[in-house]
Amino acid sequence: MTSVFEREIERGTGVPYLLLKKGCIRPSEQIDEILYANIVENKAYDPQSEGSRAEYIYNLLEFYPRREKIDERIIAYFCAMTDTDWGERQVFEFVRKLAQAGRFDKSELYKKFEYYAEEDMYNGMIGIADLLLIDTYKAVVYLARYFGMHITDGNSQEFVGQTFYAPYEEELGYAEATLSEMLHNEHDAAIDRYLSIARRMKRNKPSAPPKNLTTEEVIAVLEKTDTSNISEFVKLRMWTQKYASDADIQNLSNAFMEAGTAMKKKLIRLFRSRPIRVPARILFGSFDEIDDSSYRRNLCEALVPLKEPAIYDFLKKQYNETTKTCFIKACLKYYSEDKKTELLELLGECTIHDIHEILDDALESETLMKYPFYNDILRMLYQKTKCSVCRKKIIKQMMLHHSFDDNLYEEIQYDANQCIRRMARKR
Report the alpha-carbon distance of residue 328 to residue 7 in Å, rounded: 25
Q: How confident is the model at residue 389 (pLDDT cuts 50, 70, 90)?
A: very high
What is the arithmetic mean of pLDDT over 135-147?
A: 98
pLDDT at 402: 87
- Are 296 and 269 in contact, with CB atoms under 8 Å apart? no
Q: Is the pLDDT of residue 342 over 80?
A: yes
What is the arithmetic mean of pLDDT over 44-49?
A: 94
Q: Using alpha carbons only, give the angle 399, 400, 405 rounded to the nearest 5 degrees.
A: 30
Quick one: which of 104, 112, 185 has its CA closest to 144? 185
Q: Give me the chain's average pLDDT, please.
A: 92
pLDDT tens figures, 6-43: 999 999 999 999 999 999 999 999 999 999 999 999 99
Report the alpha-carbon distance of residue 16 to residue 390 in Å, rounded: 19
DSSP 3-state of 245: coil
pTM across the whole model = 0.86
pLDDT tens figures, 59-78: 999 999 999 999 999 999 99
Q: What is the 3-state secondary structure (H, E, C) of 28-96?
A: CHHHHHHHHHHHHCCCCCCHHHHCCCHHHHHHHHCCCCCHHHHHHHHHHHHHHCCCCCHHHHHHHHHHH
420 C-beta neighbours (distance < 10 Å), count? 23
Report the alpha-carbon distance of residue 331 to residue 53 in Å, rounded: 35
Q: How confident is the model at residue 353 (pLDDT cuts 50, 70, 90)?
A: very high
Distances (CA, A) of 72 to 4, 26, 88, 110: 26, 20, 16, 19
What are the sequence ranges of the domains in the chain? 2-198
Q: How confident is the model at residue 203 (pLDDT cuts 50, 70, 90)?
A: low
pLDDT tens figures, 206-223: 455 566 788 888 888 888
Quick one: which of 51, 149, 37, 53 has its CA closest to 97? 53
